[in-house]
Amino acid sequence: MISDGVVEDEEKWLSAGIAGLQQNAFHMHRALDSNNLKDALKYSAQMLSELRTSRLSPHKYYELYMRAFDELRKLEIFFKEETSRGCSIVELYELVQHAGNILPRLYLLCTVGSVYIKSKEAPAKDVLKDLVEMCRGIQHPLRGLFLRSYLSQVSRDKLPDIGSEYEGRDADTVMDAVEFVLQNFTEMNKLWVRMQHQGPAREKDKRGKERGELRDLVGKNLHVLSQIEGVDLEMYKETVLPRVLEQVVNCKDELAQYYLMDCIIQVFPDEYHLQTLETLLSACPQLQSSVDVETVLSRLMERLSNYAASGSEVLPEFFQVEAFAKLNNSIGKVIEAQENMPIAGVVTLYASLLTFTLQVHPDRLDYIDQILGACVKKLSGREKLNDSKATKQIVALLSAPLEKYKDIDTALNLSNYPRIMECLNDGTHKEMANVIVQNILKNKTCISTAEKVDALFELIKGLIRDLDGDTHDELDADFIEEQNSVARLIQILHSDDPEEMLKVIETVRKHILTGGRKRLPYTVPPLIFSSLKLVRRLEKQEESVSGDEASTTPKKIFQLVTQTIEALTSIPVPELALGLYLQCAEAANDCDLEPVAYEFFTQAYILYEEEITDSKTQVTSIHLIIGTLQRMHVFGVENRDALTHKATGYSAKLLKKPDQCRAVYACSHLFWLDDHDSIRDEERVLLCLKRALRIANAVQQMANATRGSSGSALLFIEILNKYLYFYEKGVSQITVESIQDLIKLIRNEMQGDASPSDPAADAFLASTLRYIQFQKDKGGAVGDKYMLITD
């Protein structure tokens, strides 16, 4: 309510001010039209008196000022005409100074001053000097700022700059221009800063805000400075920068220091910054401790980085001025000077420096390590970081080298890299680890030594194992995503040297085994596959380079693998372990290591018997077993018998009949291997199929009994397909008759009244029959065989 009232009052005052201004402007216009200088001066002074108000906020005051500004333009034109009519500009310059009130007087003086410079009756520098000096009379911050802003506005195209028509005759004409702008800048900044300290303390925030609105008035001077042609590097270095910095440092005002430093950085050219780094940086530790120096420095480094990126031809400049050393040194000093700088700030600084270094000195890993080291020094010895801003910056800091080099190798060479990771809290550590992993995956970086792998896994341990206090059990999508990434990472590790590769595997194993039950199901499989890949590679090599005295033998690897899989047993993921065992068995098979393969199978069977209780899992597992076993050729008769026997046994013991049936007919393949003459047991093939038929029959009967209708003929059709398969393979026990009988049986089943219509079964049968027909049509040996089958 109170503030509403203030705003309303302000509106009122503003409109009163505007009304007064317009009224006097009207009289002024009439005086101008009738060339009445005396009245023109009188009314313009009265008009400008409206600007003497103290009641308006900067925003509203600006509105009033702009109106006055427009009027002053007209007055300026009039003054100019007046001088061409013979009125002496010098007289005019004196005349306006007769005004009793200082503010109108100075506005008029600036206006006439502008005409004075244009007339060139006096050197621009003298007039400017006088104007800027006279403006000291306005010490009221708001009014002073606007007056000086007006001065800056009317003078900016009249500076005695090199190449300007107002250029002075003496050598240091630019100096005069610079001096003028600098002085105006200094005074404006003083006023601006003073604003903060005037008025009641409770409105401090409001004043801060209002000052924020005015900052561009001050900053504009720096812009003008940067536009002066004559300000070359030398002058910038010797005069402009030291003077500006002196003011910035001495004003001891947080808002001003931050804004102006930023202004300097943005307004002047990059190469100037580079050549004056030392000066610019030396100002930073002198700023108020509440100033956000880190942002300032970051912006500077960002600019320099961009500059460095603009072309390689500028890089020598950087080397020449030892930009890195200076920046690094200065950052150290700033951090030292500002004791209570938030850690986020510190990290931001280092992150910026790092970006800069990567851009300018991509080859200097030592620099980068140095930066990280400094960062570690700052971070260590305190609690792990929980500040979200800081952690974000750290992630940026750590990601930068990865992005630059696209190669984790480089990061692993940085001794301080892991030490920073140590300082992170668990969440961030994990996040960072993720970034690293993603980076590796994206760039397909190949990490090929155990040592590096060890370092890497140490680095990403946040993903590899539970860090203290982080034991919640739910597996959210993020977690799964992370672990999948780790799995991919494991896959990507590769060394051409098998021995080294084994070491890599061992190292990985060491790390992932600490991962706990949540992670193992994700991390073990890739490791196993990676190991098996090595096994296969070894095998190939052995073929080519036989007799190689290798310490890395498949056996050794299998031992390792066994131990690894065993780790899974503590977690109830038997089906996974079973699958892995079978994979291993197959690999062992390829290596002709019968005992090993047998052992793997045994393990798989044990798991099947003891751990896998879910009937659905059983079904999939038994099919896996059968499939794998079918491909095994390493086993001797006995071993094979034992294993096949067990497998068929398991098949028959499945809970659901259709599952039984399918498992059993699958078992038939165990006794018939196309490419192994030794494994061709026709009898047992038939036995299996018949058994399957029996079970299928039983299924139908059960269906009749329980539901009053026979079930689908699907099982029969499936069995028919097996018959056809073996028939085609030439299993003599499978006779044409048996096939024909089966077809007939199926037809009966499907045509029976009680049988429900089953489109899938119909289609299946139809395509089976089509296949038979197809084979017949094809002719040849197989076709001849099929010709025997008649419906």
Partner 1 sequence: MNYIIGAFKPACSITISLADGKSRKQVALKKENGKTVLIPVFHNQETISGKISIEPISGKKVEHNGIKIELLGQIEMYFDRGNFYDFTSLVRELDIPGEIYERKTFPFEFPTVEMPYETYNGANVRLRYVLKVSISRNYGGSIVEYQDFVVRNDSPPPSINNSIKMEVGIEDCLHIEFEYNKSKYHLKDVIVGKIYFLLVRIKIKNMDLEIRRRESTGSGTNTHVETETLAKFELMDGAPVREKVSPVTFSESIPVRLFLSPYELAPTYLNINNKFSVKYYLNLVLVDEEDRRYFKQQEITMYRLSETS
The footprint of partner 1 on residues 348-387 (CB under 8 A) is none
58: Cβ contacts below 8 Å, ≥ 6 apart: 142, 210, 213, 214
| Contact between 311 and partner 1 per CB under 8 A | no
Which window, 61-69, 131-139, 270-278, 494-502, contacts partner 1 (CB under 8 A)? Answer: 131-139
The answer to whether 264 touches 257, Cβ cutoff 8 Å, is no
Q: Which is nearer to partner 1, 33 or 94 (CB)?
A: 94
DSSP-derived 3-state class of residue 680:
strand
- Sole window of 91-99, 227-235, 536-544, 636-644 interacting with partner 1 (rule: CB under 8 A): 91-99
- Whichever of 142 and 224 has its CB closer to partner 1, that residue is 142
Residue 131 binds partner 1 (CB under 8 A): no
568 residue type, one letter: L
Nearer to partner 1, 98 or 770 (CB): 98
Measured from the CB of residue 254, what is the shortest distance to partner 1 in angstroms? 17
Cα 660 to Cα 22, 649, 709, distances in angstroms: 103, 10, 21
Cα separation of 89 and 83, whole Å? 6
Using the rule CB under 8 A, give the single segment among 132-140, 258-266, 388-396, 768-776 that binds partner 1: 132-140
**Residue 94 sits in the site that holds partner 1 (CB under 8 A):** yes
Site for partner 1 (CB under 8 A): which residue of 88, 101, 613, 709?
A: 101
Smallest distance from partner 1 to CB 138, Å: 5
Rounded Cα distance, 719 and 79, in Å: 113
If binding is defined by CB under 8 A, does position 252 make contact with partner 1? no
Cα–Cα distance between 623 and 582 in angstroms, integer? Answer: 11
Q: Which amino acid is at 267?
A: V
The answer to whether the beta carbons of residues 564 and 527 sit under 8 Å apart is: yes
**Which stretch in 96-104, 148-156, 500-508, 558-566 sits in contact with partner 1 by CB under 8 A?**
96-104
Tokens of 748: 């009966």
Site of tokens 């390689």 = 312
Residue 41 binds partner 1 (CB under 8 A): no
Piece of 135-143, 408-416, 487-495, 703-711 that binds partner 1 (CB under 8 A): 135-143
- The rounded distance, in Å, linking the Cα atoms of 578 and 605 is 8
**Site string (189-228) toward partner 1, x via CB under 8 A:** -x---x--xx------------------------------
**Out of 9, 133, 232, 683, which residue is the one contacting partner 1 (CB under 8 A)?**
133
3-state secondary structure of 672: strand
**Count of residues that bind partner 1 according to CB under 8 A:** 24
Give the three-state DSSP class for 47.
Answer: helix
* Site for partner 1, residues 458 to 487, rule: CB under 8 A: none
246 binds partner 1 (CB under 8 A): no
- In terms of CB distance, is 104 or 525 closer to partner 1? 104
Residue 129 binds partner 1, judged by CB under 8 A = no
Please report, as residue ranges, which positions from 154 to 193 form the binding site for partner 1 (by CB under 8 A): 190
Give the Cα separation of 619 and 622 in Å (integer). 5
656 close to 615: Cβ distance less than 8 angstroms: yes
Of the residues 60, 67, 140, 503, which one makes contact with partner 1 according to CB under 8 A: 140
Half-sphere exposure of 134 (CA within 13 A, CB side): 22
**Which residues make beta-bridge pairs with 139?**
none
Among 20, 137, 332, 752, binds partner 1 (CB under 8 A): 137
Single out the residue of 47, 110, 138, 584 in contact with partner 1 (rule: CB under 8 A): 138
Instruction: In whole angstroms, give the CA distance from residue 623 to residue 626.
Output: 5
Q: Which two tokens stand for residue 108?
A: 């008029």
DSSP 575-636: HHHHHHHHHHHHHHHHTT-HHHHHHHHHHHHHHHHHT---HHHHHHHHHHHHHHHHH-----
Q: How many CB atoms lie within 10 A of CB 638?
A: 9
Question: Which residues from 46-75 bind partner 1, rule CB under 8 A?
Answer: 52
Considering only the stretches 14-22, 133-141, 568-576, 645-653, report the one whose residues sit in contact with partner 1 under the rule CB under 8 A.
133-141
143 binds partner 1 (CB under 8 A): yes
Nearer to partner 1, 134 or 492 (CB): 134
* 242 touching partner 1, by CB under 8 A: no
CA nearest neighbour of 32 among 139, 111, 140: 111
The pair of structure tokens assigned to 640 is: 């094979």
Of these, 73, 120, 136, 676, which contacts partner 1 (CB under 8 A)? 136
d(CA 538, CA 253): 72
Both tokens of 783, joined, read: 């076709």
Select from 139-147, 217-225, 350-358, 737-745 the region that touches partner 1 (CB under 8 A): 139-147
Which chain residues interact with partner 1 by CB under 8 A? 52, 94, 97-98, 100-103, 105, 133-134, 136-141, 143-144, 190, 194, 197-198, 250
